């Protein structure tokens, strides 16, 4: 954006995190207006904060986010990467429906809840990515949080994506690393959006 406003290629641009390392100021073309470019905001509550710079570059979406749809007649488990386990329980008749939105590099895997418990450690960093580099699930501290979401609500997973409830209510128990923030919000996408 700054290069476009200045009509130059002066500022280095990259999709890799950490490219901008210090505050950069530039004056706009034929103007006295100065614009400042700063490094990204440093936080410690996003899933991406757990990834190496190399893994972050593989994780960032190259295209658009991918939507996956799940219908729950009974309790099921969905993994979004190796870092997010969703245990869902339907509370509506006849079926609860949710959509997940994550980058294309994130593994989305639905399974029987018992299988999810038994296989999570083995699948971590293999079937379930990220992480893309070798690591063990035991290297992280984990928490579980329970949410009861109504139709039209979303659960934002900081640094990963979100879950949209198309038909609820649905009770979700999310198990994530302790540092990852989860936030309930009004849906960005309405429940009628996906009806055809």
Low-confidence ranges of the chain (pLDDT < 50): 196
At residue 58, the pLDDT reads 85
At residue 15, the pLDDT reads 64
CB of 122 closer than 8 Å to CB of 111? no
At residue 12, the pLDDT reads 75
At residue 34, the pLDDT reads 85
137 DSSP 8-state letter: G
Longest C-alpha distance within the chain, in Å?
Answer: 65
Residues 176 and 86 in one domain: yes
Residue 23 and residue 60: Cα distance in Å, rounded? Answer: 23
At residue 195, the pLDDT reads 53
Q: Is 191 a member of any domain?
A: no
Residues 10 and 101 in one domain: no
Nearest-CA neighbor of 169 among 183, 157, 152?
A: 152
At residue 79, the pLDDT reads 98
Q: Is 178 a member of any domain?
A: yes
Handedness of CA 150, 152, 156, 157 (dihedral sign): positive
pTM of the prediction? Answer: 0.79
At residue 5, the pLDDT reads 74
Residues 116 and 69 in one domain: yes
Residues 67 and 100 in one domain: yes
At residue 141, the pLDDT reads 97
Q: What is the pLDDT of residues 134-159, one digit of tens each?
A: 789 999 999 999 999 999 999 999 99
Residues 31 and 110 in one domain: no
At residue 160, the pLDDT reads 95
Which residues span the domain enclosing 37? 2-42
Residues 25 and 110 in one domain: no
| DSSP letter string, 90-158 | E-SSS-EEEEEEE-TTS-EEEE-HHHHHHHHHHHBTTTB-S--S---GGGS-EEEEEEEE-TTEEEEET
């Amino acid at each position: 954006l700054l290069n476009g406003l200045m009509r130059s290629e002066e500022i280095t641009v990259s999709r890799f995190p950490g490219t901008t390392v210090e505050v950069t100021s530039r004056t706009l073309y034929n103007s006295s207006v100065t614009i400042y470019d700063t490094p990204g905001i440093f936080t410690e509550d996003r899933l991406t904060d757990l990834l190496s710079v190399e893994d972050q570059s593989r994780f960032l979406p190259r295209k658009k986010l991918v939507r996956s749809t799940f219908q729950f007649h009974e309790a099921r488990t969905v993994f979004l990467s190796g870092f997010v386990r969703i245990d869902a329980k339907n509370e509506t008749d006849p079926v609860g429906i949710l959509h997940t939105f994550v980058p294309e590099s994130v593994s989305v895997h639905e399974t029987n809840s018992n299988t999810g418990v038994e296989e999570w450690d083995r699948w971590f960093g293999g079937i379930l990515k990220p992480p893309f580099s070798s690591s063990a699930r035991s290297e992280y501290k984990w928490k579980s949080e329970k949410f009861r979401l109504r139709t039209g609500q979303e659960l934002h997973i900081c640094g990963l994506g979100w879950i949209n409830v198309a038909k609820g209510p649905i009770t979700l128990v999310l198990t994530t690393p302790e540092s990852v923030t989860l936030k309930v919000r009004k849906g960005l996408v309405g429940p009628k959006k996906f009806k055809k």
